[in-house]
Structure 1
Amino acid sequence: MFVITLSYLVAIDRIDEAMDAHREWLDGQYEDGVFLASGAQVPRTGGIILAAGLERPELEARLALDPFRQKGLAAYTIVEFEPRKVAPGLERLQS
């Protein structure tokens, strides 16, 4: 499982201009079953994505296609971890 942190590198108006394309890209990742959750940080300085079901190189290749990355709007930090304990109903997240 991965926790991806996006940190915005530009003013929020530039982020907003690219948001539709970013959301379309997110939709594709959800359709493929690799993204589990995503959303804006509070305060809105970036975003968080939870991903599972793929290896790190594939995740990095997918992130490279995010319009935010392609336009230099955000930096990405990837943290990989193995869930050892999960809430009821989330057992599929365990390796």
Structure 2
Amino acid sequence: MAKKSTVGGPRTRHTTAEDIERRRQYRSRAEREQRARQWVLYTIAGVIGISLIVLLYAVFNEQVFRPRQAVSPVNGTEISNGDFQERVRLPRWLTADQIRQLSA
């Protein structure tokens, strides 16, 4: 029986679908732990990112949208919430001060 090849290098290995599947499934412990750490890190980053988006929306809503909302129309003019808050801030403070003086 004659040799197929006289080259001194290693023989080429014929990989089957079963070999490929077995290699794909096998992960060393370090690889599995690294993948778990990545998953945890990405999850935490996602939660923090979503929290920041919600927080920024809430601040933007309170500081920009709500003061610009119309409270009510008066003689055809829309009164914004910010204008109304500025108008009633001093009377509210004076009323609260009178209550504090009465209770003291």
| TM-score scaled by length of structure 1 | 0.19
- Larger relative contact order (CA 8 Å, sep ≥ 6): 1
Larger radius of gyration: 2
Query: Which has a greater percent of strand?
Result: 1
Query: In proportion to residue count, which structure has more helix?
Result: 2
